[in-house]
Structure 1
């Protein structure tokens, strides 16, 4: 009886928390601090796609359709929003060679990051210098 009550408790927690507790998030962080994250729920036919900058701005937050292919040799092909991906263990590979890691601190070197984030960042020394009037002039 105790085993049944534990399963009921676990099922009710999943029901209350939704299937978000089972969501796998794959993230790539670029060398400039911008990032891209794809979250996939095992039983859903949708993927959550988010992109943001190191300064905290999130400029893309989409829910895209997800189609799963048959698993072959430990790799599962995915079609997220019409683009081909491949799920292999703890990594998600994009068709252009980008690797999304399962941990939030996955940094892919050599990629320049996102153009939208570069436009948000002020150029070093580009801000106007303010002078206070009446103080030693």
Structure 2
């Protein structure tokens, strides 16, 4: 009876959150503070793609179709929104070699952010524009 109660107490939070506790988030932050994040649930055929700026503004929040492929060279192949990705050791590799680290353990710093974030003018009292040093900007 005790084991049954423990199992029920473990299942209740998962049911309430819709299995979000089991999803993995992969995030890349850029030096100007903008970021991209991909969240993959093990039971879903969709991935959530979000992009935002350092000012807190979320520019993109969409669900993309997800297809899981074979394992090639210890990397699990994923097709997210028609674009090839590979998953290996808690890191998500984009087809062009860009690495998305698994949050919160690892944040990958990119050189360039999103152009849209640099052109946005922050509202009065918002965070100032961040600029990478030594990048020639």
Name the CA shift for 1:5/1:72 in 2 (closer, same or farther; >3 Å).
farther
1:50-69 equivalences under 5 Å are 50-69=50-69
| Alignment correspondent of 1:19 | 19
CA apart distance, 1:64: 0.4
Do the aligned partners of 1:28 and 1:107 also contact (CA within 8 Å) in 2? yes
Which of 1 and 2 has greater Rg?
A: 1
2 CA distance for matches of 1:121 and 1:94?
A: 30
SS in 1 for 2:19: helix
Supply the RMSD in Å over aligned alpha carbons.
1.9
| Alignment correspondent of 1:41 | 41
| Alignment correspondent of 2:116 | 116
Do the aligned partners of 2:38 and 2:48 also contact (CA within 8 Å) in 1? yes
| Alignment correspondent of 1:10 | 10
CA apart distance, 1:73: 4.2
Gaps of 5+ in 1: 125-137
Gaps of 5+ in 2: 123-127, 130-137
Aligned positions, number: 123
| Alignment correspondent of 1:86 | 86
| Alignment correspondent of 1:107 | 108
1:3-55 Cα deviation digits (max 9, x unpaired): 12211221122111211111110000011111000000111000000000111
Please identify which structure carries the higher strand content: 2
CA apart distance, 1:75: 1.4
1 CA distance for matches of 2:17 and 2:25?
A: 17
CA apart distance, 1:74: 3.0
